[in-house]
Amino acid sequence: MTEIVTTNRVRFANGIGDVLVGDLYRPHRVGGSDLPALVVTGSWMTVKEQMAGSYARRLAEQGFISLAFDFTGFGQSAGSPRDVENPLRKKNDIHAAVDYLETVHGADRQRLGALAICASSGYTCANAAVDARIRSVGLAAPWLHNAELVKPYYGGTDGVADRIKAGGAARRRYERDGTVEYIPAVSETNPLAAMFGPYNYYLDPSRGAIPEWGSRFATMAWEDWLTYDPLAFAREISQPVRIVHSRDGAVPAGAEAFAEQLAGPAELIWTDGSQLDFYDQPAQVDFAVARLAEHFAATL
């Protein structure tokens, strides 16, 4: 049965003095037992009104209290510098979101889980590796790379090296005078963009090109992003994990390698569709939500 959902704007601390802003999606029930609760996060550079909010609402309809939020320095959340894709900072924000879920009235503290879409899968898994409060993990179209797997997406060894060099120069400038250099998050004409090509989800105002989104990438973040290795956390994750992905999505080999190395129960479910289809297209989102709701119902 599909639940009626209420949405509340919430605020919580990130642990380093900044306030994060989120949307809490709650099945509208009167009385009854406490419910399982999920932290839901989206792709890199995105805000809560994009794919994270969509999945959070859909999972609330399936009976889960769900939180989507803006990471430190993104969207409505405080923090500076702004729009910096910092894996460690985002992992710590997810930990803070779990802290907040523990305080939510009606949320069962013994049944907390995490769902990540695309790039935040790496950050979610980094937290799950050290956070025993997370009892179950679900990943939708996860971007899980290491130094080798990331190369084809950024022009090979030379392309990665060029971006790391640009990122280092931008970081030194920030440390010298506080200037943050940005490039477009996505462009079909500018090869320097973080995503260069026909990434329609991010270009279409009826999809992901929404006013709340900053649509920019801090150049100094390149090294942190390109050298990040979420596969290294797999052996530390004993919680049950279900992954829904497509071989036409991002880094399918990374998802396979990650699933094979997980310390606990793992399931990798393949379906069809492109990476961006998992953000908002009914066929892929319906499939992912159904499989992940089933997983959380069985493990939380």
pLDDT tens digit sequence for 29-81 = 756 789 999 999 999 999 999 999 999 999 999 999 999 999 999 999 999 99
pLDDT at 90 over 90: yes
Q: Which CATH class is domain 5-145+229-299?
A: alpha beta
Average pLDDT over residues 2-20: 94
Which amino acid is present at 274? S
Residue 17, by phi and psi: left (phi above 0), alpha (psi -120 to 50) or beta?
left
Q: How far is the C-alpha of 16 from the C-alpha of 112, rounded, in Å?
A: 23
Interval 266-284 mean pLDDT? 98
Q: CA torsion sign, 271 to 207 to 48 to 53? A: negative
* d(C-alpha 35, C-alpha 111), whole Å: 8
The tens digit of pLDDT for each residue in 133-186 reads 999 999 999 999 999 999 999 999 999 999 999 999 999 999 999 999 999 999
pLDDT for 31 equals 66
Which backbone phi and psi does 233 adopt, to 5 degrees?
-85, -10
CB 96 within 8 A of CB 12: yes
3 — pLDDT class (breaks 50, 70, 90): confident
Strand runs (DSSP E) across 155-256, as ranges? 182-184, 186-187, 195-196, 216-218, 241-246
| For the chain, domain boundaries | 5-145+229-299
Indicate the length of the chain as a whole number.
300
- The pTM assigned to this predicted structure is 0.97
